[in-house]
Structures are given as structure tokens and as C-alpha cells.
Structure 1
Amino acid sequence: MGELVSIDKYALDNLPELTKLEATNNPKLSYIHRLAFRNIPTLESLMLNNNALNAMYQRTVDSLPNLREISLHSNPLRCDCVIHWMNPNKTNIRFMEPLSMFCAMPPEYRGQLVKEVLLQDSSEQCLPMISHEAFPNHLNLDIGMTVFLDCRAMAEPDPEIYWVTPLGNKITVETLSDKYRLSGEGTLAISTIQVEDSGRYTCVAQNTEGADTRVATLRVNGTLLDGTQLLKIYVKQADAHSILVSWKVNSNVMTSNLKWSSATMKIDNPHITYTARVP
């Protein structure tokens, strides 16, 4: 069984007799969806300490009508608008071991007690933050595999999540593609992966306050290509003392970077096809 990295939408549903839930000591659990819980009317105690959680949405707590206590200590909490509901003046929920709840970010609050910072900071909107623990930085893959790249982010207001491929193509939940599919929660699926699919994939989480980005590097059969390496050159004609070659430039590349010691070049279209006769 794989490590628990996130609790996604409706992960726990229709558990009418559950009174206590414990998900502790998961070093990669860094994200809980706003709507992670549904139809759990009797839950009283939620134990989430010693994970990698940066925050927990108020709506998640509001979906648990009988909740009395939460254990969130020993998590790297972000002390900004996402957790303002934890202010003792705004909630009746009891936080276990509050003297072990410290801010990990932003830098100006690092190391301070959460309850003290929340009495000072009252901003209602904040930047997206991608959960680093759940994000794959480097992957080594075999040809033909289907890979799933998880990207989770929290912010107020909710961020839009999209991905950018190594060739500069933007992948959204509306993108229609046999190769790529993006879930509403931010997971990019790449099917039947090939060497030419290797490269650096960028996740972008964006709202009205700004954006956060993370890059996942994929090697396929030990190979890592970038946009310039994916350039394909075709031999159109071979003579005794020269050859005629042509190549196409990717849509995200404005000019060709190929250099020849001696060549006569014809540009059919500066954004599409180049032809060169090389002596």
C-alpha cells in the first residue's frame, strides 16, 4: 500500500457511526480537500497530528456537524487566511496540545504559536501554496507506462490548477487529448509514456492573489529530453557534395537555434519550416 499523501474529495463518505478518525504520523500527508468528508454526522474527534499538513479548510470542519476536537499539532502550518477560522474567537472547536502548534510559514511568523499569530493577522485572501510533500520532483519511468502526477494547492479564493508540458502546451481540465488528462483536483495523467514525453512538467496553481509553481522532471528509460532535443531534422535530398535537410520548429520556439559552419538557408515560413543545403 502506498503512502498517504492527500485526502481528496469525498474520500470518506457515508459513515454514520464513525465517532473518531485518526490519520497520524504520515510524513507525506500534506493536503485535505475542502469536501474530503461527507455524511459523517457523528464524528467528534479528528486526529491529524504529526503529518505534513500546511492547513485545513474551515469548510472541511463545517461538514462535520458534531466535531468537538482536532489534533493538528506537529504539522508545518501556514499561518495565513486559510486557517483564520482557527482563531479562538471564531470557533468552538478544541485544539489538542495548542502549545505544540507552530507556524512554519510565512517566514515572518515562522516559529511563533499559531494562536498568537491568528490574533494579529486578519487577511481574507492569500496566495496559493502547492503541497510539496505530495508533489513528485523526479521520476524514472519505463516506456509504455501511465503516470499520474499529483499537484494539490490551498488558497483563498480556491486556486485554478493547470499543467504546462515540456513543449509549452497548457493542460487544463477542459483539454481534450489522448495523451494527457487533468483531474479537477490537479492530478495530471500521462498515458503510454514514450521517450519524447520526458522532460520538465510544470504545475501552476493560480488565483487572484498570484500563483505558485512546481516542476516535475520525468526521465523515460533513463533519458531526459528538453524542447531543443525534440527537434527532428529530415534529409530531403542527398548529392555528391551536399545534402538538403529540413526541420520544423515547435510552436513555443520563436526562432531556430541550429548553426552551420557553411550553409545556404531558405526560410519557407519563419514559424513553421526551415530548409538548409549543407555542403
Structure 2
Amino acid sequence: ITEVAFEGLPVLKYLDLGEMKLTELGEDVFQSMPYLVILLLDGNTLLSQVDPSAFLSLTRLKYLTLHNCGLVSLPPTTLDTMWSLQSISLNQNPYRCDPDICGMVWWMEETEVELLNRDNITCSQPSG
């Protein structure tokens, strides 16, 4: 998805991109959607990386689904900037147990955001 994909939709509040075979989310992909409240990205099993600033412009985002994707890690800076976030699903991803996962684990322990299916957030790949 390019950063111009959603131009002309500035007041969109709900976007379902679930099971769309996305492979990555770039830096400015949602920049023209400041009113987005709900973003569903679950089921994108090829989605292995998210740019740390992909959600930066989503200042009103409250609900985000990233479960059942192909994420091996998620930089904590990706999550730290989502001040309005109330609920997120991160489970059923093939997370890699390496030093990159530490920031995400710390965020999960410290956040007040509701982590849906928290018990199903596990590492699938050992480090190395």
C-alpha cells in the first residue's frame, strides 16, 4: 500500500484491511486518515514488518487488530506513539525470540491498553 492509497478519505473512521495479503506497512501509509478510529489488519499472514512510524498520524485510533499476521517483531516505538489506543490484538504472530522482542514485551507489561488474547502472544521462533 502506498501513502497515496487513501488520499481523499480524510474523515474515514473505520478501515478493514483484514486478509488482504499485505506484506508491509510503510512509513506514511495512513498519513491522510487523521480521523481513523478503528483499523483492522488481522489475517495478513504475509505482513512481516510494520514501519515504526506507520501509525504516527493516527492520533484518534482506538482499536487496532494485528493478530494472525506474519509479524516476527514489532518495534516498541510503533506502539508508544498511539496515545488514544484503547484495545489491540497482537496474538497469533510468529514472533522471534531475540533482543528485538524485548521492547515489545516491556510495552505489553507497562501499557494500559487492553491486550486482547494476551495469553496467546508467544514466540514461535527461537533466537539465532
Q: In the alignment, what sits opposite 1:104? A: 124
Shift of 1:26: 1.4
User: Contact 1:14–1:38 at 8 Å: present in 2 too?
Assistant: no
Which has more helix, going by share of residues? 2
User: Alignment length, in residue pairs?
Assistant: 108
Which of structure 1's runs of 4+ aligned residues deviate more than 3 A? Answer: none
Partner of 2:41: 23
Distance in 2 of aligned mates of 1:10 and 1:101? 27
* RMSD of aligned residue pairs (Cα, Å): 2.2
Aligned equivalents of 1:79 and 1:94: distance in 2? 23
TM-score by length of 2: 0.73
Taking the TM superposition and a 5 Å limit, the aligned residue runs for 1:72-91 are: 72-85=90-103, 86-87=105-106, 88-91=108-111
For residue 35 of structure 1, what is the aligned residue in structure 2? 53
For structure 2, the residue ranges without an aligned partner over 5 or more in a row are: 2-19
Q: State the TM-score, normalizing by the size of structure 1.
A: 0.36
Tell me which amino acid in the other structure corresponds to 2:126: P
CA separation of 1:74 and 1:91: change in aligned 2, threshold 3 A: same
Letter of the aligned partner of 2:90 in structure 1? L
Query: Over alpha carbons, which structure has the higher Rg?
Result: 1
Partner deviation per Cα, 1:72-130 (whole Å, 9 max, x = no partner) = 111101233323233344322321101211211225xxxxxxxxxxxxxxxxxxx8xxx
Matched, 1:3 2:46: no
- 1:13 equivalenced with 2:27 (yes/no): no
SS of 2:110's equivalent in the other structure is coil
Q: 1:14: Cα distance to partner?
A: 3.4
Other-structure match for 2:71:
53
Which residue is 2:113 aligned to?
93
1:66 Cα deviation after fit: 0.7
Q: Which has the higher contact order (CA 8 A, sep 6+)?
A: 2
- Superposed CA deviations along residues 141-186 of structure 1, whole A, max 9, x for unmatched, are xxxxxxxxxxxxxxxxxxxxxxxxxxxxxxxxxxxxxxxxxxxxxx
Letter in 1 for 2:110: K
Distance 1:30 1:77 in 2: 10
Counterpart CA distance in 2 for 1:78 and 1:70 is 19
What SS does the aligned partner of 2:124 have?
strand
Structure 1 segments unaligned to the other structure (5+ residues): 108-126, 128-279
